[in-house]
């Protein structure tokens, strides 16, 4: 059995922030293969990037690093690939204790049983924190599309479009009912796409997200900053 003070479920930006503040007293479990998947895998570029709203030194450092490698523009457009690389770089530099490829089987107040790459394991902690995003005020299915740079960001029929930092690419957001299944949501997305407005007539879908987007935070840096400020990590 693995014992730790704080067990964090989800290597999200928020969860990694909590783990960083815990300073070696936390362990992060996740069934994904990279940290920060709640923005990267959902194809959510975030919005309202404002360094002045960040409270912690580490959040400021990541903001500066994103600007340095041209993964974040002055007007808040982001490269998700660049974001993923910068955050992975930070996690490795901090030696953040994350176990990937972990699927939970059972959980109670202080214990978790999970399937890990090395087999079934038990984890015990004084406190378990679920840092995975949950449906609270909406659910979205996102995609990446081709779009001319002259096409402005904003509403396009049932979609909301935001350009990426790569010329000719944009993120497309589509809100779905909270109770919709994955297959239902995809069907609704593609029906809406078939009837898309004229502005998107010549656009094509390059990639569809592999997970729902729940948006508990405006952008990944806000989520990370909130985790670093989380009282549970004391």
Task: Please name each of the domains of the chain with its CATH number.
Answer: 2-133+217-233 (3.50.50.60), 139-208 (no CATH)
Per-residue pLDDT tens over the stretch 142-192: 999 999 989 999 999 999 999 999 899 999 999 999 999 999 999 999 999
Maximal C-alpha separation, the chain: 58
What is the token pair recorded at 225? 């900053």
pLDDT value, residue 55: 94
Query: What is the pTM (predicted TM-score) of this model?
Result: 0.92
3-state secondary structure (DSSP) of residue 152: coil
Residue 106 parent element (H or E)? strand 103-107
pLDDT value, residue 232: 54
Residues of the chain with pLDDT under 50: 233-234
pLDDT value, residue 231: 59
Length of the chain: 234
pLDDT value, residue 234: 42
């Amino acid at each position: 059995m693995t014992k730790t003070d704080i067990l964090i479920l989800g290597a999200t930006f928020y969860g990694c922030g909590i783990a960083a503040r815990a300073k070696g007293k936390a362990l992060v479990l996740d069934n994904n293969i990279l940290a920060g998947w709640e923005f990267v895998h959902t194809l959510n570029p975030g919005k309202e990037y404002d360094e002045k709203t960040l409270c912690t030194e580490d959040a400021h450092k990541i903001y500066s690093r994103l600007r340095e490698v041209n993964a974040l523009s002055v007007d808040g457009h982001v490269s998700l690939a660049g974001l993923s690389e910068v955050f992975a770089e930070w996690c490795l530099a901090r030696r953040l204790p994350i176990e990937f490829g972990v699927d939970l089987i059972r959980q109670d107040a202080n214990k978790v049983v999970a399937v890990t790459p090395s087999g079934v394991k038990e984890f015990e902690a004084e406190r378990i924190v679920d840092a995975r995003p949950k449906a609270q005020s909406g659910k979205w299915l996102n995609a990446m599309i081709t779009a001319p740079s002259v096409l402005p960001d904003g509403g396009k029929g049932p979609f909301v479009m935001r350009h990426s930092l790569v010329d000719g690419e944009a993120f497309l957001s589509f809100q779905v009912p909270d109770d919709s299944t994955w297959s239902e949501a995809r069907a609704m997305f593609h029906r809406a796409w078939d009837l898309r407005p004229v502005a998107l007539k010549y656009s094509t879908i390059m990639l569809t997200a592999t997970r729902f987007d729940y948006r508990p935070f405006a952008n990944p840096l806000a989520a990370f900053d909130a985790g670093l400020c989380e009282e549970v990590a004391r």
